[in-house]
Amino acid sequence: MRTMMIILAKDLWLRSRDSTLLVYAVVLPLGLAFMFNLVLGGGGGDRLGARYGVADQDRGPAATRFVTGVLRPMAAQGLITLHAVTSREEGRSRTERGELDAVFVIPEGFSAAVGAGRATTLEVVGDVDAPIAVQVAREAAQAYATELRSLRLASPDGTARDLPPAPLTLVDDASAVTRQLDTTTYHAAGMAVFFLFFAVMFGATGILDERSAGTLARLLAAPVSRHAILAGKLLGGVVAAVAGMAILVVASTLLLGARWGDPLGVAALVVAGVLAVTGLTGAVAAFSRTSEEASNRLSGLAMVLGLFGGALFPVAQLGGFAAVASLTPHHWFLRGLADLAGGGSAGEVLVPVAVLLCFAVLGGALATVRIGRLMRV
């Protein structure tokens, strides 16, 4: 134990004099998070800012209920702006010109069809260049259709003749709505876990540097166990990375307005995430002959895992490859933060933390098995 702590203290002292770790652990992730936030949006809140038009050709109770109960509350919250449109053709023309993001077309006879339980449509005409706004519009229309369907099924005669007098209200359900990181926090957390590989890398490649410099042979000649050397090197990377992550969390909160969630839950995710990455980097280093080879492999691994783990952009955009995300520590780190979003407690992150620790154990076990080759001089 004493030997491990001496190696740890020596490595931390050396890293404190090297600005490279500070750059990878804090400066680069914070700077890129700021750039993504500036270019892609965020920082000022979670306003959608969509411009919706309504072509109400029905003007019946069901149509009025949709406008007053669904759309106007969204407008009152500043999420959207509403514009009157006289016809479907005008709505399509305005979306093509980029004046509106989407238009809701309520056809004539809509309310009568709803009241009689007949099939009808609530059409959404969207701008191809505003996919997020269009998707939100589709979800709003689908939610209203589902509400009408529920009323019809609950009606004794299978119709929805008697619509409730009170309009629909939008309720912020923490279990469904807020389990998603806001833009600013997503960028900060994504960059933090992406560059975590580079921050921890110095501890994993430290043994290979010692071997190249000839100091590893001196350590092995002394009454020092190989496991103590490996643990000291890796632990140095852990301590430095946790400190860097802590600085990044505080800095992104103060400078960018990121909302990380419950401090205990965030701390558990940070420590578990650092351990997971440390285990993986240790395993990669154990299969490398030189520090340069290990750095190249780890850089490639960091890019691939960051890409498929959702650190660079929402993994849902990967389509069929999204299932691969569960094989990356990035996914579980970001999922844990999403579980904390909206006021969740530290208990919400038990599963993500457990999975991250599994990465740490598996990677650490592989590095330990290969310790003989890693310590070869």
Q: Summarize pLDDT for 176-195 with one digit per residue, the tens.
A: 334 567 788 888 898 999 88
Q: Are 349 and 356 in contact (CB under 8 A)?
A: no
* 38, 55: one domain: no
What is the per-residue pLDDT for 52?
A: 94
Same domain, 244 and 342: yes
Q: Is 71 within 8 Å of 52 (Cβ atoms)?
A: yes
Structurally, the chain folds into a number of domains equal to 2
State the pLDDT at residue 375.
56
Q: What residue numbers bound the domain in which 148 lies?
A: 50-154
Q: Are residues 318 and 290 in the same domain?
A: yes
| CB-neighbour burial class of residue 372 (10 A; exposed 0-12, middle 13-18, buried 19+) | exposed
168 lies in some domain: no
172 within domain boundaries: no
148 and 61 part of one domain: yes
pLDDT in the model for residue 218: 65
**Are 36 and 56 in the same domain?**
no
Which pLDDT value is given to residue 172?
Answer: 35
Residue 173 lies in a domain: no
Q: Which residues of the chain have pLDDT under 70?
A: 1-8, 10-19, 21, 39-48, 152-180, 203-204, 206-207, 210-234, 315-322, 342-344, 371-377
> Which pLDDT score, from 0 to 100, does residue 44 have?
44
Q: Are 283 and 365 within one domain?
A: yes
One domain, residues 120 and 234: no
Tell me the pTM: 0.60
Same domain, 76 and 191: no
**174 domain-assigned:** no
**Backbone torsions φ then ψ of 51, nearest 5 degrees:** -110, 110
Same domain, 234 and 268: yes
Is 166 a domain residue?
no
The answer on 124 and 193 residing in a single domain is no
Q: Which two tokens stand for residue 326?
A: 């569960």
Q: Answer yes or no: is 225 within a domain.
A: yes
Q: Is the domain of 30 the same as that of 73?
A: no
Burial call 246-283: b when 16+ CB within 10 Å, e when fewer: eebbebbeeebbbbbbbeebbbbbbbbbbbbbbbbbbb
- 65 and 16 within one domain: no
pLDDT value, residue 287:
84
Check residue 226 and give its pLDDT.
65
CB 50 within 8 A of CB 136: yes
For residue 98, give the CATH number of its domain.
Answer: 3.40.1710.10
